[in-house]
Amino acid sequence: MPYNKLSELPDSVRDNLPKHAQEIYKEAFNSAWEQYKDPEDRRGDASREETAHRVAWAAVKQVYEKDEQSGRWHKKAD
């Protein structure tokens, strides 16, 4: 179930991540959705959707980090 628009993303993504991070999430999710369509390409018994969400969060965390005090996500310092 790839996402066509940011408005289709799960609430946990839309309500917490800045727009650019949401764009990263959407693109990474859609890419992983295609890449891991075959069960033998996934780890353990993870579903296609679960794997795509994991990949998407990992992609976001490459560029953004969560401030533990405020709970807000912000771009990592270079």
Bridge-based pairing of strands 64-66 and 73-75 is: antiparallel
| pLDDT tens, residue by residue, 21-70 | 999 999 999 999 999 998 888 888 899 999 999 999 999 999 999 999 99
CA dihedral 22, 25, 26, 29 (to 10 degrees): -160
Mean pLDDT of the chain: 95
What does the block give as tokens for 43? 């780890």
φ and ψ at 75, to 5 degrees? -65, 140
- pLDDT bucket at 5, cuts 50 / 70 / 90: very high
Which of 44, 45, 8 is closest to 25 using CA atoms? 8
Output the pLDDT for position 72.
94
Distant-in-sequence, close-in-space partners of 44: CB < 8 Å, separation ≥ 6: none
The model carries a pTM of 0.92
pLDDT category at 12 given cuts 50, 70, 90 is very high
